[in-house]
Chain A
Amino acid sequence: MSRTDNTNERKGVGEGCCPITLGGQSLFLLSQRAVYWSERKVLFVADLHLGKDATFRQAGLAVPAVSSRDSLNRLQKLVEAYDPSECIILGDLIHAADSLNERVQGEVSEFFGRVSGCRWRLIKGNHDRHTKKWPADWPLLIESEGAIMEPFRLLHFPEFPADARDSRIGREGISLKQGEYFLAGHIHPAWRGSASLLVREKLACYWLTPRGLILPAFGTFTGTKVIDRTPQDRVFAIADTQVIEV
């Protein structure tokens, strides 16, 4: 595993992250639930689920309304710290049909104004299909799954082998070529381990399968699902500001 230190030039940047090599490329698994690809200066995030809190409140369920804004603020900080040339969202930017209300839309527009230094791309996820009309002022390139950035395929749904156990959500359709790896989200992976006798902790994690990497959900108000790992998989749990292989 080679460590390229170009991300660590500024103090504190990348602290606690875990570098891995995938397809000969250096990926930095950040404790902020994002991946930085140093060769191409690309930042990946997945599953923001913006406006989920608004959807909840519309249904009469009380959620503090700051969570979408919190997600955006954290993303802005990351962009400022890493200064990527491109930022790619691996699906599920918006939670549901009624999530994109005026306020959320305004907040996102404002956000894009603050991070205009890089290109933005969204790989559409299952939740994004409810958004029929994307605001014209968002500088966001919207694509379907399967975009290629050698050696990576950009997905929302992770790709699992056809004989995978059915508890692993997968879908047919896009087949990876030899030497290709996917980057995906959707699962909101979490690892459950015991930190002490009385406590069993559930931590968001990165899930590296032989076919590609699944990112943790970036959004503040998103749940997690404990993964069912196989011996070939590697798992990197996020414990506060540290990413630790478990």
Chain B
Amino acid sequence: MAIWLGPVVEAWNELQANGGELSAGLKVLWITPLRALAGDTVNALQSSAEQLGVPWRVQLRTSDVGSSAKAKQRKDIPDALVTTPESLTILLTYADFRERLESLQCVVVDEWHELLGTKRGVQAELALAKIRRICPKIRVWGISATLGNLEQALATLVGPERIENALIIEGDIQKKTEIASLLPSKIERFPWAGHSGGTMVGEVIGLVDQAKNSLIFTNTRSQTEVWYQAILKARPDWAGLLAIHHGSLDTGVRKWVEERLRVGDLKAVVCTSSLDLGVDYPLVEQVIQIGSPKGIARLIQRAGRSGHRPGVPSRLTFVPTHALELVELAAARRAMVQRQLERRLPESKPLDVLVQHAVTCGIEGRFCSELLLQEIRDTVAFESLTDDEWAWVLKFCTNGGESLQAYPEFHRLQRTEEGYSVTDKRTIRQHRMSIGTITSDAEVQVQYLKGNKLGSVEETFVARLKPGDRFLLAGKLLELVRVRDNTAYVKKARGNPTAIPRWMGGRMPLSSELSAAMRLEIANASRGEYQGSEMEAVKPLLMLQAKWSRLPQEHQLLIEQLEFKKRHLLLFYPFEGRLVHEGLAALLALRLSRSKPITFSIAINDYGLLLESVEAVDWEGVATAELFSVENLEGDIAESLNATEMAKRHFREIARISGMIHSGFPGRNKTMRYLQASSNLFYDVFAQFEPDSLLLLQSHREALEKQLEWKRLMSTMLRIESLECIVERPKKPTPLAFPLLIERMRERLSSETLAERVMKMQQQLELDASS
């Protein structure tokens, strides 16, 4: 808000000097990541300008605005526009709009941390570079939550060249944050990862009862549904006072919840990160976080959603879903004090975005390759773009790829003597409609037979359902009636759900910074240092770990080897987050089976990994140095995981962004059916006929980086190389091993039998522990 006052005050001064006259034209561009928030922003900016007596017009420019209003906006431009990266990119394709940018004084990018590290962020970077070229004197402001790499975030906003002239201003009002943990009366001595913490429902209800308004954050959308049901079952009188909010709910449903949060007549909202962002709800008194937030910045941000009035502290209560999460919280608390926050690394050279951008620039008018390249290199994302890569992108846009030269039917970008441009009307129309980098997995809309929309679930989930199956969505139990035209028609149901929808991308790995903090916490415990109530609470459990096996110190890697139910278990605890462990597990399985063929089953969690085999592993025969060597890491990873399958998953997004696949056209007509092909099919033909396609290579790179956190895996391997490997042979599964065993069983058992089995195992181990 303070940023907004700058230009407004300038306008006020102008008003005074010119005797009540204001110059016309656009002065401020306000970029926001969330379309849903843009309306609120417009209202807030408009009213504060009015309060200062500046008669500015602030208008919305997002895909929610009708086309006639948009056309009017271009003729009669307001003083400030609130827009999204996508809408801004489209705006910049209009020559008359670019001319009007001359009067622009400043660009504000709101919630930049949300865009940074995404392809949308790259799109915004490219748009900013263009604006900088058109008006070199422009002021760019970014608003961001605290990050571990603010300097880099700054460079992405102002361009790598101008970093010396840029400033970081940190808010110096230290907001008081109170974080407490809800400690169960009896610590379950053996934690089991991933159960929803259902035993804590009573305590959570007690907390909610004490406050007027609460936000209850869970980590996944399915957990939101489960918790909503559990609370409502215990407190039926809260029907109507309890709401649910997550990204797969219909906008109508979400808006309704947000509005009531503002008014403050809801007791509590169960939500996911969907409520991390956006305007503040001053009436929220407390935040309840169920399960580890998996990151320090996220914990701070969530706590900050409460007590949003001057002088009122932010209050967050953490509800652990298993005992070891208390260690995570203790670690997060310590890291918070030391301001060790997560970094968000910007994307590097996503060529799919560049392909889209090149075509966009071709729509703007004829462009000269060299000049555009200069502009593109003025971004952090494409700073190191090589001439060859740029040439490839241009070729792809003009010919469709290497092998297409001889085929005249293809044309997106046309090359003439004077430069590149897009002239075909149909291509222009299609491209404008598909500008953007948000691609969602194939989703199926869910709506009542009568017509009310509820939200969406993944196509793969619906594919497994039969009519009559019951599932939870939007806090309601629904029965599938039929699926037609990408819509699942449902009616209200009674009884118990037969299926719980799961959405991809639900689980975040433990962040690198939090992992390091957690290792430190455990190392301290190994020396008998237990600081804070959380560590005190898990002390009996960690002492048992030390007694049966060991608590690793900073310079040690703990490996446990034991026999359990006629299986040989090999457990490693690098504490590096689930994605790294996934890659590491596949890699170790491959390398261990090289000397002697052996088949492993794998289980992973945020703390470690488990390799299970019927035969014993000739562990002594393998040098640990070889096992964790970074030599031929990439080749071994590709061999151990189905790299093609992983790349295909990422190629889907790339194919859509680079315009190979079109989807989601409004009023898609019948002829479009002949243009449908899955991204897998594209992947296959490219792999067969154009294996050197840079977009194909990008999909491999993204698969490694996004699915296995490649860079982190590398640094983990390097870290492990320098560690002392300690092999312990406990007689029974240890507190660290137990959750991994459960992960392993999860794949084979239904959730009900799993819960029973876990209870039994836990009881047995409790007995062993107390004897």
| Residue numbers in A under 8 Å from B675 (CB-CB) | 55-56, 59, 61
| B4 on interface, CB distance cutoff 8 Å | no
Q: What CA separation (Å) do A132 and B404 show in the bound complex? A: 28
Q: Cβ of B677 and Cβ of A57 under 8 Å apart?
A: no
Cβ contacts A95-110/B at 8 Å (1 or 0 each): 1100001010000000
Q: A58-B409, A59-B675, A199-B645 are in contact. Are A64 and B403 (CB under 8 A)?
A: yes
Cβ contacts B398-424/A at 8 Å (1 or 0 each): 001101101101111000000000001
Q: Nearest chain-B residue to A166 (Cβ)? A: B482
Q: Cβ of B411 and Cβ of A60 under 8 Å apart?
A: yes
| B427 on interface, CB distance cutoff 8 Å | yes
| Residue numbers in B under 8 Å from A196 (CB-CB) | 642
Interface-facing stretch out of A25-33, A35-43, A78-86, A217-225? A217-225
Q: What CA separation (Å) do A55 and B403 show in the bound complex? A: 16
Q: Nearest chain-A residue to B359 (Cβ)? A: A60
Q: Cβ of A57 and Cβ of B400 under 8 Å apart?
A: yes
| Residue numbers in A under 8 Å from B34 (CB-CB) | none
Interface residue total, chain B, C-beta cutoff 8 A: 41
| A239 on interface, CB distance cutoff 8 Å | no
| Residue numbers in A under 8 Å from B749 (CB-CB) | none
| A13 on interface, CB distance cutoff 8 Å | no
Q: Cβ of B403 and Cβ of A66 under 8 Å apart?
A: yes
Instruction: Write the nearest CB–CB distance from B589 to chain A, whole angstroms.
Output: 10
CB contacts under 8 Å to B, within A91-133, are 95-96, 101, 103
Q: Which of A61, A103, A226 contacts B659 (CB 8 A)?
A: A61
Instruction: Write the nearest CB–CB distance from A226 to chain B, whole angstroms.
Output: 8
Q: Cβ of B659 and Cβ of A221 under 8 Å apart?
A: no
Q: What CA separation (Å) do A37 and B96 show in the bound complex? A: 67
Q: A95-B674, A198-B642 are in contact. Are A63 and B682 (CB under 8 A)?
A: yes
| Residue numbers in B under 8 Å from A147 (CB-CB) | none
Q: Which of B404, B645, B659, B681 contacts A57 (CB 8 A)?
A: B404
| Residue numbers in B under 8 Å from A95 (CB-CB) | 674
Q: A61-B661, A198-B586, A220-B685 are in contact. Are A96 and B674 (CB under 8 A)?
A: yes
Q: Which DSSP category, helix, strand, loop or mixed, fits chain A's interface? A: loop
Interface residue total, chain A, C-beta cutoff 8 A: 33
Instruction: Write the nearest CB–CB distance from B658 to chain A, whole angstroms.
Output: 8
Q: Cβ of A62 and Cβ of B400 under 8 Å apart?
A: yes
Q: Nearest chain-B residue to A56 (Cβ)? A: B675
| B678 on interface, CB distance cutoff 8 Å | yes
| A142 on interface, CB distance cutoff 8 Å | no
| B430 on interface, CB distance cutoff 8 Å | yes
| Residue numbers in A under 8 Å from B747 (CB-CB) | 197
| B426 on interface, CB distance cutoff 8 Å | yes
Q: Cβ of B681 and Cβ of A223 under 8 Å apart?
A: yes
| B297 on interface, CB distance cutoff 8 Å | no
Q: Nearest chain-A residue to B399 (Cβ)? A: A62
Q: What CA separation (Å) do A61 and B400 show in the bound complex? A: 8
Instruction: Write the nearest CB–CB distance from B602 to chain A, whole angstroms.
Output: 6
Q: Cβ of A57 and Cβ of B685 under 8 Å apart?
A: no
Q: Cβ of A62 and Cβ of B641 under 8 Å apart?
A: no
Q: Cβ of A64 and Cβ of B686 under 8 Å apart?
A: yes
Q: Cβ of B412 and Cβ of A60 under 8 Å apart?
A: yes
| Residue numbers in A under 8 Å from B681 (CB-CB) | 221-223
Q: What CA separation (Å) do A54 and B411 show in the bound complex? A: 12
Instruction: Write the nearest CB–CB distance from A104 to chain B, whole angstroms.
Output: 10
CB contacts under 8 Å to A, within B372-413, are 396, 400-401, 403-404, 406-407, 409-412
Most buried by B among A56, A63, A103: A63
| B601 on interface, CB distance cutoff 8 Å | yes
Q: Nearest chain-B residue to A96 (Cβ)? A: B674
Q: A61-B661, A63-B682 are in contact. Are A103 and B403 (CB under 8 A)?
A: no
A-B pairs with lowest CB-CB distance, top 10: A62-B400, A57-B410, A64-B689, A96-B674, A199-B642, A66-B689, A60-B412, A58-B409, A60-B427, A65-B407
A-B contact pairs, 11 of them (CB 8 A): A60-B427, A61-B661, A64-B401, A67-B689, A95-B674, A103-B407, A195-B642, A198-B641, A199-B642, A202-B680, A222-B681
